[in-house]
Structure 1
């Protein structure tokens, strides 16, 4: 049995291979939350035609890429900053803001707290409560805001709960944060998977709030974590000017820049992804809702959080049971406020999802 300290991340396939003797090529990762369709066909067929891009430096301003992103997200090109993955941009904005005290909605991705700590800041968590199905209680949250907080960090839709804050609610949060001079960083890594992405999207709010930055990347929706391509949108011109003055030039390579332009314009792939995830999300949620041995939380993203109710079975047991069949789920007990009864899995192809459901049912 694996120990708590040995829990695996979705990218830890080499470790899985070493510990379990299963070739990583034979593992289906329901833990990585990556689009099961793989990379954009337009990107796959066209990238080789642009291979000569590596013979010269990228445009320092990444003008063409930023223009394509602007068209994709509906934002002016001057409000867009690109970086070496959204993780680099998280680090960059936290370094620029240099918060002494940050508030994070949790349970959530651990990188926020880590970056804040590296800068000498302190992180507090506002818990999304299990009794509320991990949906934000706006009144209680607003009451927790005060002038001692410099930075608010929100993952939306949130990992691992798969719950989301609507644009209308986000506007109320931003209004309250303006009162206390709190800067808000919204990580929208999973927003494109949402059933109604426009209802969750905070990028339109950057036109009206200068205390907001929205971060996105291509790792999950476009199945391209190896490209390390991320982007940020903010209406704060002074902040953009400061970052562009201080950041390293050429933060992304020429091929990643070209790849971004290709994938953001692959409308057929984008639509096919949304249809697949929407169908499988509904199917998996509705089926597991009927199981008396689990509690499922209604998902907004491309993954679902599940609580085990069956006595004598925990997330370690399920992980062990599934990985022996080459199916990798995520034990969520390393997230704040969650314990060994919680696990998460993302939606893959219909066949693989059926295989996982049958595997889980064997133990549950």
Structure 2
């Protein structure tokens, strides 16, 4: 039996295998938030034919890749920085900005606080409120963004709440931060899953503001975390130059760079993913509406946050019931501001979603 203090990340399948005696190949991870379609259709067909690329160094400037990303993200190639996953770029950005005091909108991804701490800074949280369905109160946030804050960190759409901030509201935040000399880092890891991506993405704001950087990657939407390809979008040319000067050369291998170009051009895969996630999101809403003792929060990413309303049913109870059926969800009790009644799961295939929903219904209705 797993101890309550043990929690698993979506990539911890080896640990699950050891604790539960379930082969990792038999586990469906609803915790990793990775596209259930797997890697790009075109990538499967084409990447092997480019194997000879590893016999030479990549282009130091990654010109072709950056041009491809710029087209995909609707920005200029000069605004693009590429890195070894978005994690490298988060680290570099925080190292360069070296904030003494960062404000993080939470609950959210723990890596932000870790990187600020490694740089000698302190992190403070602006807590999203459950009674507001974890929707951001812009006015209240701005009241906390005083001149002693160096850096504001936003995950949009947010993990684990799956809520998002529309661009018109992000503009208000940036205006306020500009007046107080606060830089804003926006993590858009899950932006492509959002049904109204065009209204949420902050990329167009990089043309008007020099106090924002946007981070993205291919781990989740393109189901390729092992390739370690991330990119940033920023209109601040001085910051881009500083990041590029500090960044190690060739942090992206030749095959990952080629893979990126293939994936960003796979329109069929991109559209199929969006259609699947949007359809399953609506269907899961409808199903959960019929389940007693559980509440879900509006989702704009490819995952959903839920809360058990029965005090006798905990997040660990749901985790246990799911994993015994080879289904791994996220017990969210380790996130700031969430207790042992919150779970998160991503949208997989309709068949697998049905399996998980049946387990949730059984536990919550008992």
Relative to the length of structure 2, the TM-score reads 0.99
- CA shift at 1:268, angstroms? 0.4
* Matching residue of 2:57: 57
CA shift digits 1:192-221 (9 cap, x unpaired): 000011111001110110000000000000
Q: Is contact 1:2-1:316 (8 Å) kept?
A: no
What are the equivalent positions in structure 2 for 1:338-349 lying under 5 Å apart?
Answer: 338-349=338-349
The 2-side partners of 1:7 and 1:197 are apart by 31
The 1-side partners of 2:69 and 2:169 are apart by 25
Secondary structure of the corresponding residue to residue 38 of structure 2: coil
Cα RMSD (Å) of the superposition?
0.7
* Matching residue of 1:172: 172
- Structure 2 gaps of 5+ residues are none
* Matching residue of 2:99: 99
* Matching residue of 2:331: 331
What are the equivalent positions in structure 2 for 1:208-357 lying under 5 Å apart?
Answer: 208-357=208-357
Secondary structure of the corresponding residue to residue 94 of structure 2: helix
Q: Is contact 2:99-2:150 (8 Å) kept?
A: yes
CA shift digits 1:6-65 (9 cap, x unpaired): 100000000000000000000000000000000001001000111111000000000000
- CA shift at 1:4, angstroms? 4.1
* Matching residue of 1:182: 182
Q: Is contact 1:188-1:214 (8 Å) kept?
A: yes
Secondary structure of the corresponding residue to residue 307 of structure 1: strand
Q: Which moved more, 1:259-268 or 1:4-13?
A: 4-13
The 2-side partners of 1:61 and 1:255 are apart by 15
Q: Is contact 2:2-2:19 (8 Å) kept?
A: no
Q: Is contact 2:160-2:344 (8 Å) kept?
A: yes
- CA shift at 1:136, angstroms? 0.3
CA shift digits 1:298-348 (9 cap, x unpaired): 100000000001231101111111101100000000000000000000000
Q: Verify: 1:140 aligned to 2:148, yes or no.
A: no
Q: Is contact 1:305-1:344 (8 Å) kept?
A: yes
* Matching residue of 2:68: 68
Secondary structure of the corresponding residue to residue 81 of structure 1: strand
Secondary structure of the corresponding residue to residue 48 of structure 2: helix
* Matching residue of 2:116: 116
Q: Is contact 2:16-2:24 (8 Å) kept?
A: yes
- Structure 1 gaps of 5+ residues are none
* Matching residue of 1:26: 26
The 2-side partners of 1:231 and 1:110 are apart by 20
CA shift digits 1:63-119 (9 cap, x unpaired): 000000000000100010000001111111001100000000000000000000000
Secondary structure of the corresponding residue to residue 141 of structure 1: helix
Secondary structure of the corresponding residue to residue 103 of structure 2: strand
* Matching residue of 2:153: 153
Secondary structure of the corresponding residue to residue 231 of structure 2: strand
Q: Is contact 2:293-2:308 (8 Å) kept?
A: yes
The 2-side partners of 1:87 and 1:293 are apart by 37
The 2-side partners of 1:157 and 1:289 are apart by 23
- CA shift at 1:286, angstroms? 2.1
Secondary structure of the corresponding residue to residue 5 of structure 1: coil
The 1-side partners of 2:285 and 2:299 are apart by 8
The 1-side partners of 2:254 and 2:5 are apart by 38
The 2-side partners of 1:344 and 1:204 are apart by 30
Secondary structure of the corresponding residue to residue 354 of structure 1: helix
